[in-house]
């Protein structure tokens, strides 16, 4: 982190610029927004962590159905509580930026959709994914029958080696055939 809460050191700025897909302006803006989330005591700590609830108060993430998964995926905390340092935050913005490549985006999308963190998307993950996107309450969900049908359609479409789960390569293959993905997998401050 920078020496004061409002300034980022030049060498750190150029280091961040080389390590992420963000431009200088975007990094400075990210720093400003991150500092606003810090509480007063945290500002003087060398690498402060922002708890997940505060990160989720950002307007860009507040209404996102995958907000909790995003925080968990990008968090480097040992306690797995979804808290983010500034560098985790930059990582997040870099993966969701305009100039990130399709491989990066599909890699992170796979990790976000993998609810049980086991490296493949099985039926349970797909069911949670559909529920996230259609609605949380009972009257907005799909019925069990419809869910079963939908999951079998999805697996039929994307499971190339027919093992009942979608692994990273199969996921990336499906994503590469979806032209809207790159433009919609974007969060800009």
Partner 1 sequence: MSFDDKKHIRGQVLALKSFKKSRQLNCFSDCSTTVSLAFRRCGANMTLAKQTLELWRGTMKEVGGKFGTGVLSYFKFLKWLLMFNIFSFLVNFGFITIPQLIYHPTPDIPAGVSFKGLEILTGAGYFSHTVMYYGGYSNKTQGTGGRSEYNMQLAYFFTVAAYMVLCGAALIYSMASSFRKKYVLADSGLGGAWQLLCSWDFSVTNEKAVRQRKNNLRIQLKESLSEKVQVALLPLTERLKHYGVFLGTWLLSTGMALGCGASVYFLSSSGSLLEEAATLLLPFVVSLINLVVPLFYSLFKKIEHYSNPRMQVYAIIVRNVILKMSILGILCYYWMKDVANTFSCWESIVGQALYRLVIMDFLFIMLGSFFGEFLSNVIGTKCIQSLGVPEFDVARNVLDLIYAQTLAWIGIYFSPLLPVIQIIKFFILFYLKKVSLTQNCQPPRRAGRAAQMQTIFIAILFFPSFVGALSMVAYTVWTLPPSDKCGPFRGLNTTFSAIQIWMDDLNRVDAFQWTVWIYQHVIRSEIFYFLISLIILVFIYIFRQITQGRQLLITLLRQQIVNVSSGELSGLTCLVHQSCCVRSGCVYVMMLLKCWNNIFS
Residue (of 147, 149, 118, 117) closest to 132 by Cα position: 147
Q: Which segment (2-10, 37-45, 48-56, 63-71) binds partner 1 by CB under 8 A?
A: 63-71
Calculated CA dihedral for residues 91, 93, 97, 101, nearest 10 degrees: 20
Copy the structure tokens of residue 2.
Answer: 């920078």
Question: How near is the Cβ of 40 to partner 1 at its closest, in Å?
Answer: 25
Q: DSSP readout, 47-106?
A: S--B-HHHHTTSHHHHT-TTHHHHHHHH---TT-S--B-HHHHHHHHHHTSTT--HHHHH
Looking at beta carbons only, is 35 or 106 nearer to partner 1? 106
Minimum CB distance to partner 1, residue 160 (Å) = 6
From 36, 60, 103, 116, residue interacting with partner 1 (rule: CB under 8 A): 60
Distance in angstroms (rounded) separating the CA atoms of residues 189 and 93: 8
Instruction: Say whether residue 80 binds partner 1 (CB under 8 A).
Output: no
Instruction: Give 24 or 43: the residue with its C-beta nearer to partner 1.
Output: 24
Shortest reach from residue 35's CB to partner 1, in Å: 18
Could you say whether residue 115 binds partner 1 (CB under 8 A)? no
Does residue 174 bind partner 1 (CB under 8 A)?
Answer: yes
45 near partner 1 (CB under 8 A): no
Q: Which is nearer to partner 1, 41 or 87 (CB)?
A: 87
Only one residue has tokens 């049908």, namely: 149
CB of 154 to partner 1, least distance (A): 5
Q: Judging by beta carbons within 10 Å of its beta carbon (0-12, 13-18, 19+), is residue 86 exposed, middle or buried?
A: buried
Locus of tokens 């020496």: 3
> Are 13 and 32 spatial neighbours (Cβ–Cβ below 8 Å)?
no
Q: Between 41 and 46, name the residue whose CB sits nearer to partner 1.
A: 46
Q: List interacting residues with partner 1 (CB under 8 A).
A: 15, 17-19, 23-25, 59-60, 62-66, 76, 85, 87-88, 90-91, 96, 109, 129-130, 133-135, 140, 142, 146, 149-150, 153-154, 157-158, 160-163, 174-181, 183-188
């Amino acid at each position: 982190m920078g020496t004061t809460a409002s300034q980022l050191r030049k060498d750190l700025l150029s280091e961040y610029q080389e390590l992420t897909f963000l431009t200088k302006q975007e990094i400075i803006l990210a720093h400003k927004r991150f500092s606003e989330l810090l509480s007063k005591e945290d500002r003087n700590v060398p690498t402060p962590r922002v708890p997940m609830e505060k990160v989720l108060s950002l307007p860009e993430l507040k209404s996102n159905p995958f907000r909790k998964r995003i925080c968990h995926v990008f968090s480097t905390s040992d306690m797995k509580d979804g808290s983010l340092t500034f560098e985790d935050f930059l990582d997040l913005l870099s993966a969701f930026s305009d100039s990130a490549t399709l491989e990066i985006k599909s890699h992170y999308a796979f990790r976000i959709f993998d609810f049980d963190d086991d490296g493949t998307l099985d039926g349970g993950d797909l069911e949670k994914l559909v529920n996230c996107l259609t609605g949380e309450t009972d009257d907005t969900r799909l019925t069990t029958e419809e869910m079963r049908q939908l999951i079998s359609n999805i697996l039929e479409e994307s499971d190339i080696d027919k093992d009942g789960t979608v692994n990273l390569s199969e996921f990336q293959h499906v994503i590469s055939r979806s032209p809207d993905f790159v433009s919609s997998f974007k969060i800009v401050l």
